Amino acid sequence: METAADAGEEELSPPRSSLVLDDDEDVEEVEDEGGNLKEPLLEHHPINLRRHAPNNTSQLAIVGSNLCPIESLDYELIENDLFNQDWRSRGRAAILWYVFLKWTFCLFIGIVAGAVGFFNNLAVENVAGYKFVTVSDLMLANKYWTAFWVFAGSNLALLLFATVITAFVSTAAGGSGIPEVKAYLNGVDAPDIFSLRTLVVKIVGMIAAVSSSLHVGKAGPMVHIGACIGAIVGQGGSRKYGMTCRWLRYFKNDRDRRDLVTCGAAAGVAAAFRAPVGGVLFALESLSSWWRSALIWRAFFTTAVVAVTLRTLIDICERGKCGLFGKGGLIMYDVTSDTITYHIADLPPVILLGVIGGILGSLYNFLMLKVLRVCSLVNEKGRAYRLLLAATVSIFISCCLFGLPWLAPCRPCLKEDCPSIGHSGSFKNFQCPPKHYNDLASLFFNTNDDTIRKLYSSETNDDFQKSSIMLSFVASYVLGILSYGVAAPFGLFVPIILTGASYGRLIGMLMGANSNLDHGLFAVLGSASFLGGTMRMTVSVCVIILELTNNLLLLPLVMLVLLISKTVADSFNPNIYDLILKLKGLPYLEDHAEPYMRQLTVTDVVTGPLRTFNGVEKVGNIVHILKTTGHHAFPVIDEPPFSSSPVLYGLILRAHLLSLLKKKRFLPTCTLSGFDASKQFVADDFAKRGSGKHDRIEDIEVTAEEMEMYIDLHPFTNTSPYTVVETMSLAKALILFRQVGLRHLLIVPKSSCRAPVVGILTRHDFMPEHILGLHPFLVKSRWKRLRFHKSTLTRFFRTSLMWACS
Amino acid sequence: METAADAGEEELSPPRSSLVLDDDEDVEEVEDEGGNLKEPLLEHHPINLRRHAPNNTSQLAIVGSNLCPIESLDYELIENDLFNQDWRSRGRAAILWYVFLKWTFCLFIGIVAGAVGFFNNLAVENVAGYKFVTVSDLMLANKYWTAFWVFAGSNLALLLFATVITAFVSTAAGGSGIPEVKAYLNGVDAPDIFSLRTLVVKIVGMIAAVSSSLHVGKAGPMVHIGACIGAIVGQGGSRKYGMTCRWLRYFKNDRDRRDLVTCGAAAGVAAAFRAPVGGVLFALESLSSWWRSALIWRAFFTTAVVAVTLRTLIDICERGKCGLFGKGGLIMYDVTSDTITYHIADLPPVILLGVIGGILGSLYNFLMLKVLRVCSLVNEKGRAYRLLLAATVSIFISCCLFGLPWLAPCRPCLKEDCPSIGHSGSFKNFQCPPKHYNDLASLFFNTNDDTIRKLYSSETNDDFQKSSIMLSFVASYVLGILSYGVAAPFGLFVPIILTGASYGRLIGMLMGANSNLDHGLFAVLGSASFLGGTMRMTVSVCVIILELTNNLLLLPLVMLVLLISKTVADSFNPNIYDLILKLKGLPYLEDHAEPYMRQLTVTDVVTGPLRTFNGVEKVGNIVHILKTTGHHAFPVIDEPPFSSSPVLYGLILRAHLLSLLKKKRFLPTCTLSGFDASKQFVADDFAKRGSGKHDRIEDIEVTAEEMEMYIDLHPFTNTSPYTVVETMSLAKALILFRQVGLRHLLIVPKSSCRAPVVGILTRHDFMPEHILGLHPFLVKSRWKRLRFHKSTLTRFFRTSLMWACS
C-alpha cells in the first residue's frame, strides 16, 4: 500500500516566503543569529529528513505518584454513517430523556460531592480533634514525653496509613489531583485517575493525611473527588458489574464526560470551601480548557445542590451529635466585622503586602518544584522508599510542631474559654501554668481550619506575639513545601491560605501604628496575596475569599492585593499547577501559541510515516498496521476502482477498527459491502469506553484465512475530520486544535494531483519539547515567550537568600 | 478566468451516506415525512442549482434605532508575508511596550468608565431629584394641577430631548446597546456603534431619559458606554484628528479591539452596579462569545480600577457638595440584615416565587417583543413619528404615575423622616394630610434606585399595603414594557429589578403568616426570579445581586430561585437579548449547531459563484471583480506558469486589495515582483481600520493603462486560511467557525485533480434563515431544537390572560 506521505515528500519544504514557488535549490545552511531579523526563520534549515523520525515525545507521565502511559481524549463529534443513523433514529423522547438524565447526573454529583465534603470534614475534625485533645490532656498532666510520643506516633501512623494505601491500592490518588483533572479537561487521559478505587483511596487517605498534622489541605483532593464522581457517573454504567442501561450509551463519549467532570470539579471546590460561586469560577478559570455558556449554567446548578446539601447536613449535625465537629466543621471563616473601614491612606501597606506576597509566592513555587523533583526521585525507587520518606517527613514535622512552641513564652489569659481544655478549641495551655496560654502552640495544635479562623478573627491584635507569628509563618512556609513531597492524597490550598494568613498578620504587626487596619484583615489579605502569588487565579480566588470570610466589604482590597501579587509573581515563574503539570510530564496544550510557532508551518513539525487505509481494506493489512504502529487514527482513502481518483473519505479510529476485527464480519472479496451497517452493528459497539479501558490488537485472534478477507470501512469512517492545508502556520493550527478540542488533525495538500492527505497532527506535535527537538536552533532564538530567564530567577533567589541569611 | 466553482460542480451532491460513491443517478424526489427515519435527510433533494443563487440573507440590521448595513469582524490572524516580516521585526522592547500599552488602556477604560458611571448617577439624582422636590412642594401647597403640569411637562421635555438627540445626532445610541455589544463580540460590526458621537449621545440621552420618570434603567447603556470607551481606545488613534502614534498600530486589528471592548463592557456593568466581580461575570456569561483565561484577568483588572475610582469619587462627594446625590447615588441596596435566617420550611414559597417569576419573565419577553415590533414599525416611518411616539408614551406614563396614587389611602407616619420634605427621600406626602404618607406615591415619586432600596429594606413589612404593591407591580410591569419602545438610550435591567422587587413583596404579603421570611428578602428574591426569567443569566445575576445587597447569606436562596425561574422560562422562549438580537436582524452566530446541521454538509449551503485570483493578477480583473461582487475575501490560486498545477496559495482580503490599488505599485508584465514588499509597503497600510471606516472601490480611480498592468498578490495573501473539506458536516464547520472566530472559511475538495478551492463559507451561510430558505423541507422536519412551539406559547399566554381578566 502506498502511503500518502511518500507521495507528498518532495514538496515538504515550506515555500511560504520564497516568492519562487517549488524551488528548493537555493537553500543555504546559514545559522547566524545576528542576521536579518526580517528573514523567515526556517528558510535556511532543510528539515526534510524528519519524516523518517517518529515523534519521540514521551507518552508517559507521572499520574498521582506513578509513571503511567497516557492517552489523548477526543472531543470531536465522530460523524460516521453508523453513528449518524443511530443519531437520526433517536426520537424526541430519547433526546428529552438524555437532557433529563444529564441534569439528574448533575443533581447526583452535587449531592454526593456535598455529602463527601461534609463527611471528610467530620472525619478530620474528629480524628485530628481527639488527637489534639489527648495530647493536651497529657500536657496538662505534665507528661510531656508521653504527649510527644502520642503526638508523633499518631501522626506517623496516620501518614503511613495514607501512604501505604496510596502506594498499594491506587497510586493515582497521590497528590492533590488538580493537575490531573486540569490535564483531563485539556484532553489528556491517564488510566485509573477516575476509578472507584482511586475515589475511595483519595477520600480515606486524605482524611488520614490531613489528620496527621502535615501542612496539607483538603481542597485539592476534593476537586479530584468531585471530578471522579462526575467521571464515574459519566462512565455510562459498568459492564463488569452488569450495571448497564440502554439510555446510558448516549453518555459514552468524551464530550459528555468532560461536561460532567467539569461540573464535578466545580462541586468539589464548592464543597471544600462552601463557596458555590467560587467553585464555578475556579473550574472555569483554572481547570477547564473549553467552556460553553450552557456549561456555566450546569456547573452552577451542581454547586447550588452542593450548597443545599451541605446546609442540610450541617443543620442535622447541629441538632444531633457529630463528635468534635463544631462550627469549625467546614472551612468557613465567618469573620464578619461590620466595622471594617479603610481609606486611601491604607493603600501603601496593602500594596507592600501584595508585592512581598508575590515574591514569596513565586519563591514558594520555585522551592516546591525543587522539593517535588527530589522527592519524586526518591518515590520512584520503590514503595519502601516512599514509606521511608513519609516517615521521615512526619517525624520531622512532629518534632518541629512539638518543639517550637517551647520557644514561645506563656501569656496570661484575657478571654473566656482560655485555655481550652477537653475540646478542640483555640487557646492551648501547652507547657504553661493554668490561666496562661502558649500562642504558638495555639496555632500549631489545632486543625488548619481552626488556625486560619483564629488568624482571620478581628479584634485579636493582642492575642499573638510578633515572634510567634514569625515562627509560625516560617514553619508553615517550610513545612508546607516539605509535606507536599510525600506520595499521599492531599492538597495545597489550605497550607497556602494558612501561610498567607500568618504572613499577613506578621506584616500587620510590623506595620504597628502605621496602619489602622485590623490584623485579622491583614491575615485575609495575606492569604489573598499568597494565593495570587502561587496559584495566580484572580476572579475565583477573590470570590472564594469573599465567600469564605462572608464579608463583601473586603472586595476592593482583596482585588487590589491579588492583582499586585499575581503581576509580581508572573514575572518570575508560571503558576504552581502549571509547574507541577510540566514536572509530571502531562502534555498540556496551552491556549496560546509560542511566538516561534508563527514562523513554522504544520509540515515543519509533523513526523513519522503516515499510514492510510483503502475504503475497502484487507484484514491482513489492518492487523499488520495496527500491530506495527501505535497510531490511534488512520485516514481512509478511496482509490480506483472505487473512485476515479484518490479521494479522502475520512478518518477511522483504531478503537473502531479493533471493534470491527473483534466482530469478524469480513467480506470475502474486495467489494463494497452493500448492506446496511446498522443491521450488523449497533452504535454501542463503537461507543468510547471509560478511561483506560480499551481493546488491544494483541488480544484479537485472526486466522490466516480471515487475513485474506476484506472489511468495508466506509460506514465506520468519520467523514468530517478537521483538516488544515499543509501551508497552515503552526500557531493557527494550534488555535484550531485547542479551541475545537481535537485529537487528530489531518493535513491536506495545497495543490491538486497529490495524495489527498499529507500527514496527521496530534497533541504531541504541538509540544514545545518536540518542536525544539526537531529544530534545535529555535532554543537559542529570540522567538520565545517573555519571562525572566530561569538562571536569572535562580540567581535572584539565591542572592536574596544569602542576603537574608547573612 | 475559470472559477473553481465551475470545476467542482459535478461532485456537489453529498455522497456521504450513499455507499456507492460517485453515483448520482438514483436520486428520487420523495418528500414523505413518515419515511424511514434512519435515512439521511438530503439524499432525496437534489439541490445542485443553489450555486447559481447568491446568499440573500439580509446584510442589514437595526442598530440602535435605525436600519444599517453590517459587516463581519475578522478575529483570524492574518499571516501574509508583509505582516509576518513586520511581526518578526518587532524587538523585545516593542512587545513589552505593546503589553504595557494594553494594560494602560485597561487602566484608562476603568477610570473613565468609573467616572462616567459616577457622573451619570450624579446627574440623574440631581435632575430627577429636583423634579420630584418641586412637584412635592407644589403638592404640599395643594397646587395639584400645577404639580401635574410641572411633572408631565418636565418628563415630556426630558424624553423629547433624549429622543431628538438620538434621532438627529446618533441613531446608534438608541436602546440599551447590549444586543449590539453582544453582536460585536460575536463578530458583527455595525457602523457608528462605537463612535465618539454615539458615546456622547448615549450619556446625555440616558441621563435625560432616566430622569424623565420612564420605567427605564441605566445599566444597559453603561455596558454600551463601557464598550464604546474600550473601542475608541482600541481604535489606534484617529487619523482625522492627527492623533496617531507608531505604537498604536499594533492595536489596529479586531482581536485586540475585541479584548478592549470586552473589558469595557465589564467595566460598564461594574460601574452601573458597583459590582466588580459581577461585571466580569456578566461580560463572560452574557456578552462575549470567545473567552480566554488571560482576558478574565484583564477584565478583572479593569473592573477593580472601576471599583477604586467609584469609591474615590464617592468619598469626595461625601465631603463636598454633590447636590441631591446622597447614598442613593449608586445603585447599591446595602440592606445588610444579619438576622436573615431561613429553614427547609421556607423553601415552598421560594420555589413558588421562582416558578411564577419564570412564567411572568417569559411573558415579559413575549410582550416586550410584540411592543418592540409595533414601535419599530412606527419608528421606521420617520423622526416625526418617533417624537410623537415618545411624547405619547411620556404623557401616558406621567398620567399613570400621577393618577394612580390617588387610589391609595393615606397612612399615618410611624417613622422618622416621614413624610420627607424638601429632599429626594422615601416617604411622600402627596395628597395626604401632614404626618401621613401615600405609600404608592412613595414608590412612584422617587428615582427607581430609591424605590428599589425601599422595597429591599428589611423590617418594613408594614410600610406598604397589599393593594399599593399590587398596583405598583402592574404599573411597573406594563410601563417597563411600554417605555422600551421609545427610541432613546436606556436599558432594561433596572425596570426588571424594580418589577421583580414589587412582585416579590406582593408574594411575600400574600403568603402572610405562612412564611417567616422578611418582605425585603422576598423583594430581593423576586428581583432574582424576574432577572432569571427574562435575562436568563445565572452566575452573573447571582453575583450582581449579592454585590448589590451586600449580603452573602442570601446566596443559596438566590441560586435556587434563579435556577427555577430560568428553567421555567427557558421552556417558553429564549432570553430577552436573544429575542431583541433576532428582531434587529443581527446575524448572531449561536455556539451550538441546530440539529439539522448535522445532516448537511458544507456544500449543501454554500452559495453564489466563487471568484478567485491568480497569484499575479491583472489590475483590470481585480477592479472588475471588486466592482461586481460584494465579497470580502478571495482565494488566490497559483496556476501555471507559476506552479506545475493549480495550488491554493491563500486568501486575500478586499480591504488589502483596495489598499494595493490605492498605492498603484503595479507591475508591467505578468511576473513575480521579485522585490521585497516591505520596502514598498508598511504593514500599517493594511491595518484594519476602525468600525465602519473603509475604502470603497468606487472611490479609487484606475486608468485604462493601469488596468492592463499586474499586481503580485503573494506578499499580501494570508497563506494560512482555515479550511474544511467539502464533505465536512455543517455542524462541525460551525464549531470551527465560531470557536476560532472566523470571517471566511475555505472549502477544499476531498479528491485530487480538482480546482483547489470549492467555495467560501461566511457567517451568513450558517444562519438558519439561509439554510431553511435553501432547503425548505427542513422547516417542517423534526430536526429542530426542542422548545414549546410558538403558537403553543401564544395560546398559553392568551388563555392565561383571558382567565386573569375574567
The string of pLDDT tens digits covering residues A493-507 is: 889 999 999 999 999
CA distances from B324 to A87, A146, B454, B698 (A): 64, 71, 17, 55
Distance between CA atoms of residues B139 and B16, nearest Å: 78
Contact A122, A276 (CB under 8 A): no
Mean of the pLDDT values across residues A721-739?
A: 90
Element housing A410 (H / E)? strand A410-412
**Which residues of chain B does A539 touch, with a Cβ-Cβ cutoff of 8 Å?**
277, 280-281, 296-297, 300
Is a pLDDT exceeding 80 seen at residue A321?
A: no
Q: What percent of chain A has pLDDT over 90?
A: 26
A806 vs chain B: nearest CA distance in angstroms?
Answer: 36
Supply the Cα-derived Rg of chain B in whole angstroms: 30
A725 beta partners: A748
In DSSP notation, A707-765 reads HTSEEE-GGGSBS---EEETT-BHHHHHHHHHHHT-S-EEEE-SBSSS-S--EEE-GGG
CB-count exposure of residue B93 (10 Å: 0-12, 13-18, 19+): exposed
B750 to chain A: which residues are within 8 Å by CB?
A: 647-649, 756
CA distances from B463 to B286, B439, B451, B468 (A): 37, 7, 13, 10
- pLDDT above 50 for A65: yes
The Cα B21–Cα B663 span in angstroms is 50
Query: With bands split at pLDDT 50, 70 and 90, how would you rate the model's confidence at B320?
Result: low
Is the CB of residue B365 less than 8 Å from the CB of residue B579? yes
Nearest CB partner across the interface for B648, out of A343, A559, A725: A725
More confident position, B119 or B804: B119
Best of B10, B82, B90, B277 to substitute, by most chain A Cβ atoms within 10 angstroms, is B277
Could you tell me where the DSSP H helices lie in A16-91?
Answer: 81-88
**What is the number of other CB atoms lying within 10 angstroms of the CB of residue B513?**
5
Can you give the pLDDT at residue B391?
A: 94
pLDDT band at A45 (very low <50, low <70, confident <90, very high): very low
Interface list for A 657-686 with B (CB within 8 A): 672-674, 678
* Percent of chain A at pLDDT exceeding 70: 82
Separation of alpha carbons B638 and B675, rounded Å: 18
- Please check whether residue B222 touches A, CB under 8 A: no
Asked if pLDDT for residue B32 goes beyond 50, the answer is no
**Which residues make Cβ contacts (< 8 Å) with residue A184, sequence separation at least 6?**
A73, A190, A193, A194, A227, A231, A258, A261
Nearest residue to A654 (alpha-carbon basis) of A603, A718, A706: A718
pLDDT value of residue B671: 78
**DSSP β-ladder status, B616-618 and A710-712:** unpaired
CA gap A387, B299 in Å, rounded = 46
In SS3 terms, B159-173 reads as HHHHHHHHHHCCHHH
Least confident range from A601-605, B184-188, B587-591, B783-787: namely B783-787
> Which is more confidently placed, B79 or B162?
B162
Place of cell 513539525: A605
Q: Which residue has the higher pLDDT, A651 or B756?
A: A651
Is 60 exceeded by the pLDDT of residue A35?
no
pLDDT of B691 higher than 70: no
Option in B297, B643, B723 nearest A751 (CB): B643
Q: Which residues of A touch B95 (CB under 8 A)?
A: 786
Which DSSP letter does residue B550 get? T
Residues 6+ apart with CB under 8 A from A356: A503, A507, A529
Top mean pLDDT of A87-101, B48-62, B220-234 is at B220-234
**Is A492 in contact with A367 (CB distance < 8 Å)?**
no
Q: Which residues of A touch B343 (CB under 8 A)?
A: 315
* Predicted confidence band of residue A221 (pLDDT cuts 50, 70, 90): very high
Regarding predicted confidence, which is higher, B685 or B147?
Answer: B147
Give the pLDDT of residue B242: 59
Calpha distance B603→B746 (Å, rounded): 11
Predicted confidence at residue B129, as pLDDT, reads 85
The dihedral built from the CA positions of residue A619, A624, A625 and A631, taken in this order, carries a sign that is: positive
Tell me: the pLDDT tens digits for A608-620? 778 899 888 889 9
Q: What are phi and psi of A61, to 5 degrees?
A: -150, 160
What is the nearest CA distance from A780 to chain B, expressed in angstroms?
15
ipTM score assigned to the predicted complex: 0.83
Reading the block at residue B693, the C-alpha cell is 471606516
Q: Answer yes or no: do A732 and B753 touch at CB < 8 A.
A: no
At residue B616, the 3 state secondary structure works out as: strand
Which residues in A lie closer than 8 A to residue B543 (C-beta atoms)?
277, 543
Pick among B714, B719, B742 to test the A interface (most A CBs inside 10 A): B719
Phi (first) and psi of residue A426, to 5 degrees: -105, -50
Q: Which helix (H) or strand (E) holds A498?
A: helix A493-511
- Per-residue confidence band for A399, with pLDDT thresholds at 50, 70 and 90: very high
Q: Measured between CB atoms, does A566 come within 8 Å of chain B?
A: yes
Query: Which three cell numbers, joined as nine digits, stand for A730?
Result: 503552526
Closest CB to A753 among B281, B642, B645: B645
Q: Can you tell me the distance from the alpha carbon of B626 to that of B645, in angstroms, rounded to the nearest whole number?
A: 26
Residue A215: name the closest of A581, A475, A522, A471 by CA: A475
User: Nearest Cβ partner of B276 from A276, A312, A555?
Assistant: A555
Q: Between vectors from CA A662 to CA A657 and to CA A663, what angle results, nearest 5°?
A: 100
- Which residues are bridge partners to A667 per DSSP? A710
Cβ neighbours of A276 in B, within 8 Å? 555-556, 559
| Residue to test with chain B: of A289, A720, A724, most B Cβ within 10 A | A720
CB contact burial B719-737 (16+ within 10 A = b; e otherwise): bbbbbbbbbbbbbbbbbbb
Please report the residues numbered 70 through 129 in chain B whose beta carbons come closer than 8 angstroms to any beta carbon of chain A: 76-77, 79, 81, 84-85, 87-89, 92, 95-96, 99
**B725 by DSSP, 3-state: which?**
strand
pLDDT exceeds 70 at position B777: yes
Q: Which of A:128-147 have CB within 8 Å of B?
A: none
Q: What is the pLDDT of residue A5?
A: 36
pLDDT the model gives residue A518? 82
Please give the Cα distance from B806 to B794 (Å, whole number). Answer: 18
Q: Measured between alpha carbons, how far is B336 from A634 in angstroms, rounded to an integer?
A: 63
Cell numbers at B640, concatenated:
501555471
Quick one: cell of B547?
Answer: 454585590
Q: Enumerate the residues of chain B whose CB falls inside 8 A of the CB of residue A307.
A: 555-556, 559
The helix or strand, by DSSP H or E, that contains position B399, with its residue range, turns out to be: helix B383-403
Q: How confident is the model at residue B770 (pLDDT cuts 50, 70, 90)?
A: confident
State what percent of residues in chain B have pLDDT above 90.
26
**Does the distance separating the beta carbons of B76 and A566 come in below 8 Å?**
no
Q: How far is CA A746 from CA A561, A724, B89, in A?
A: 46, 6, 32
pTM (whole model) above 0.90 = no
Nine-digit cell string for A287: 481547570
Question: Is it the case that residue A204 has pLDDT exceeding 90?
Answer: yes
How far apart, in Å, are the Cα atoms of B172 and each of B183, B499, B690? 14, 27, 16
Q: Are A453 and A524 in contact (CB under 8 A)?
A: no
- Radius of gyration, alpha carbons of chain A: 30
In whole angstroms, give the CA distance from residue A375 to residue A370. Answer: 9
Task: Tell me the average pLDDT of chain A.
Answer: 80
Mean pLDDT computed over every residue of chain B: 80
| Rounded-to-integer distance, Cα B724 and Cα B547, Å | 46
Question: In terms of pLDDT, which residue wins out, B463 or A497?
Answer: A497
Question: Is pLDDT of B327 > 60?
Answer: no
- Average pLDDT for residues A156-179, to the nearest whole number? 91
Give the model confidence (pLDDT) of A404-432 as tens digits: 988 888 888 877 667 666 555 567 778 88
> Which residues, listed in sequence order, are joined to residue B729 by a DSSP beta bridge?
B601
What's the rounded mean pLDDT across residues A332-346? 61
Range scoring the smallest mean pLDDT among A11-15, A576-580, B191-195, B652-656: A11-15
